[in-house]
């Protein structure tokens, strides 16, 4: 227990990923859904960094770096779209978002 190995980090990453999944499945407000997505991305970053540390390989950190960049731009574009939707419909409830019915 004392010796922190790769497994510990991976288990932590899994737990955080699961929490993120719960959030994605549960949240009906679009803004809060975005929060859960952030959690997912962060948990993956931890996993990458941990593997990179324990194998002495920089690839993991690079990947995490790019993930952060992408997450930031995703937030920008996502919020922009959300604003446009809000202007039209005045609410951001997920259940009302069903024009893609099939």
Q: How far is the CB of 52 from other proteins (least distance, A)?
A: 7
Asked if 34 touches other proteins (CB under 8 A), the answer is yes
Q: Using the rule CB under 8 A, is 62 a contact of other proteins?
A: yes
* 101 binds other proteins per the rule CB under 8 A: yes
99 binds other proteins (CB under 8 A): yes
Closest contact distance (angstroms) between CB of 47 and other proteins is 8
What is the spatial distance between Cα 30 and Cα 33, in angstroms, rounded to a whole number? 5
Which residue bears the tokens 């731009």?
73
Count CB neighbours of 13 within 10 A.
20
**Nearest C-alpha neighbor of 58 from the set 45, 70, 71, 49:** 49
70 binds other proteins (CB under 8 A): yes
Angle CA(86)–CA(88)–CA(93) in degrees, nearest 5?
45
Whether the CB-CB separation of 48 and 39 falls below 8 Å is answered with no
What character string, x for contact with other proteins (CB under 8 A) and - otherwise, covers 75-94?
xxx-xxxxxx-x-----x-x
CB of 85 to other proteins, least distance (A): 10
């Amino acid at each position: 227990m004392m010796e922190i190995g790769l497994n510990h980090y991976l288990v932590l990453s899994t737990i955080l990923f699961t929490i993120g999944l719960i959030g994605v499945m549960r949240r009906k407000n679009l803004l809060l859904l975005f929060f859960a997505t952030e959690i997912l991305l962060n948990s993956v970053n931890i996993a990458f960094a941990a593997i990179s540390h324990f194998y002495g390989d920089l690839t993991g950190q690079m990947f995490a770096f790019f993930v952060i960049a992408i997450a930031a731009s995703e937030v920008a574009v996502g919020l922009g779209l959300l604003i446009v939707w809000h202007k039209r419909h005045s609410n951001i409830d997920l259940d009302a978002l069903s024009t893609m019915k099939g």
